[in-house]
Amino acid sequence: MLNLERLRTLDALARHGSVSGAAEGLHVTTSAVSQQLSKLEREVGQQLVTKRGRGVRLTDAGMLLADHAARILSQVELAQSDIEAQRGQVVGEVRITGFPTAARGLFPATVSALRRDHPDLSVRTRELEPEPGIHHVVRGDVDVAVVLDWSNKRLPVPEGLTRVHLLDDIADVALPADHPLAGRAELDLAELADDEWVSWPEGEACRDWLVFTLRSAGVEPRIAHTAYEHHTQLVLVRAGLGVCVTPRLGRDPVPDGVVLVPLRHRLHRHIHAAWREDADRRPSVRAAVEALRAAGEAAARAGGAVAAAGG
């Protein structure tokens, strides 16, 4: 009889494409992955993995068995979902990812509520940008991903996933306190055509969005400084090194010397929770989504920090 954990290891190798990737996805060592694969090869009496340069690849037999393993594991997950649903108890483990400001702005309230209301549920969170978060949900490494798209640029969600809207997050412009426009009640992006910008590094989805948005407003962006974190960007703005767009969720505290000015034509981030359709019946996933929705509603009410959902 084939061992389920060894099939899970083979499936992880097929999905991640490397022993190190499989180990990371399974939260085990690379040695443990290699040992499980060796045992599986002995069980089936065929070579499943062969070396390719410094890495490995699946043999024809390995790909055939990996295809079966994916279907078997999907059925196991459905069975677990049905058992959870029939029992009606929120137990086991739920894994949630979110982009940095969602992790700051939503996860503390979400995890605290789940611990309070469902003490037998283990909650694991991880910071991931939207696109990797979606990929991890599709692969089954994550149960729920908090993702975003912008009012002028949407994030495609693959078939087989369900998503629910959590809130809309408004973005403002951050200026140095001595900037000529710092006293304005609101402004247009076109008024910043001569400014240098602080933005995300090249290749980041948020940087691509900023460049797209500025060019749509007739501004050719001059990006002088880059940083992954909004708080680092704000410190660079405080130093007079440029201006930046900064959403409201998870933004506080704003450094002294930085002035936030709303845009006349509001820019919104639409924030969603996404999960696999076949996990809909799991009480743990439903509980996690409801806790995220409650956290989103609370953030929307918190001093006008974000627009109410649908606003």
pTM: 0.73
Find tokens 């196991």 and name the residue.
76
Which residue would you say has higher pLDDT here, 138 or 262? 262
Give residue-wise pLDDT tens across range 183-225: 999 999 999 999 999 999 998 888 988 999 999 999 999 999 9
Give residue-wise pLDDT tens across range 4-28: 889 989 988 988 888 988 888 777 8
- H-run or E-run covering 269: strand 267-276
> What is the spatial distance between Cα 252 and Cα 25, in angstroms, rounded to a whole number?
32
Q: Is the pLDDT of residue 37 over 90?
A: yes
Please enumerate in sequence order all residues whose Cβ is within 8 A of that of 129, keeping only pairs 6 or more positions apart, or say none: 99, 204, 205
Residue 310, pLDDT score = 40
Residue 124's closest CA among 115, 19, 138, 104?
Answer: 115
What is the average pLDDT score of the chain? 88
Give residue-wise pLDDT tens across range 78-105: 777 667 666 667 888 899 999 999 999 9
Please enumerate in sequence order all residues whose Cβ is within 8 A of that of 1, keeping only pairs 6 or more positions apart, or say none: none
Give residue-wise pLDDT tens across range 230-276: 899 999 999 999 999 999 998 888 999 999 999 998 888 899 999 98
Q: Is the pLDDT of residue 306 over 60?
A: no
Residue 176's closest CA among 262, 247, 238?
Answer: 238
